[in-house]
């Protein structure tokens, strides 16, 4: 399994291939379609992320000491963003997720290109992913 850093580097390189925002967005929409979907039973208020104008649900499971994320959103661009996040964090141990830097989001031009309300959603998504890592880390230590 590649490290979070390697995966993020890979994502940055993929996004560098595009010359304009439209291609980036089209790619993001494609990525959104490949998102590992959350089980319908978790699409409830409890798993919803606040701070997004569109709905986002994220669920995490610990398998072999690694966190597997699934998610969904009712908006396709949001789904693309969450797919990028999950690709870099899913299948990683909690500590690695906690230590991970999220500035790659800036490097692929997402933060600067997204509207402020959406950017807030992005921040909330990262926070939620890190919270899952905190929770599983605490569980492992207890």
Partner 1 sequence: MATASTTSTLDVLRIRKDFPILNRKVNGQPLVYFDNAATSQTPQQVIDVIVDYYSNYNANIHRGVHALSQEATDAYEQARIKLQKHFNIPNAYQTLFTSGTTHGINIVASGFAEILKAGDEIIVSALEHHSNIVPWQMLCEKTGATLKVIPMTTSGELDMEGFDAILSEKTKLVFVNHVSNALGTVNPIEEIITKTHQVGGAVLVDGAQASPHIKANVQALDVDFYVVSGHKMCGPTGIGMLYGKEKWLEKLPPYQGGGEMIDQVTFEKTTYAGLPHKFEAGTPNICGGIAFGAAIDYMNAIGFEHIAAYEHELLTYATQKLQEIEGLRIYGESKHKTAVISFNIGDIHPYDIGTILDKLGVAVRTGHHCAQPIMDFYKIPGTVRASFSFYNTKEEIDIFVNAVRKAKSMLG
Please identify, using beta-carbon distances, which residue of 87 and 118 lies nearer to partner 1: 118
* Shortest distance (Å) from residue 17 CB to partner 1: 18
Please identify, using beta-carbon distances, which residue of 1 and 17 lies nearer to partner 1: 17
Q: Is 115 exposed, middle or buried (0-12, 13-18, 19+ CB in 10 A)?
A: exposed
Clarify whether 52 is annotated catalytic: yes
d(CA 54, CA 99): 28
* Shortest distance (Å) from residue 122 CB to partner 1: 12
Please identify, using beta-carbon distances, which residue of 76 and 126 lies nearer to partner 1: 76
Instruction: Check if the beta carbon of residue 112 is closer than 8 Å to that of residue 45.
Output: no
Q: Which of 11, 49, 52, 125 is catalytic?
A: 52
For the record, the structure tokens of 20 come out as 């304009």
43 half-sphere exposure, CB direction, 13 A CA radius: 10
Give the footprint of partner 1 on this chain (CB under 8 A). Answer: 21-22, 25-26, 29, 53-55, 74-78, 113-115, 118
Residues taking part in catalysis = 52
């Amino acid at each position: 399994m590649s490290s979070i850093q390697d995966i993020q580097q890979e994502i940055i390189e993929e996004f560098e291939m595009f010359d304009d925002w439209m291609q980036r967005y089209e790619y993001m929409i494609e990525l959104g379609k490949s998102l590992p979907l959350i089980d319908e039973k978790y699409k409830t208020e409890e798993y919803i992320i606040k701070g997004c104008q569109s709905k986002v649900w994220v669920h995490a499971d610990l398998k072999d000491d690694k966190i597997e994320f699934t998610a969904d959103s009712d908006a396709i661009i949001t789904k693309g963003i969450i797919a990028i996040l999950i690709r870099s964090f899913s299948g990683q141990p909690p500590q690695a997720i906690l230590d991970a830097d999220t500035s790659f989001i800036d490097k692929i031009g997402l933060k600067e290109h997204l509207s402020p309300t959406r950017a807030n959603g992005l921040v909330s998504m990262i926070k939620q992913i890190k919270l899952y890592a905190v929770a599983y880390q605490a569980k492992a230590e207890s």
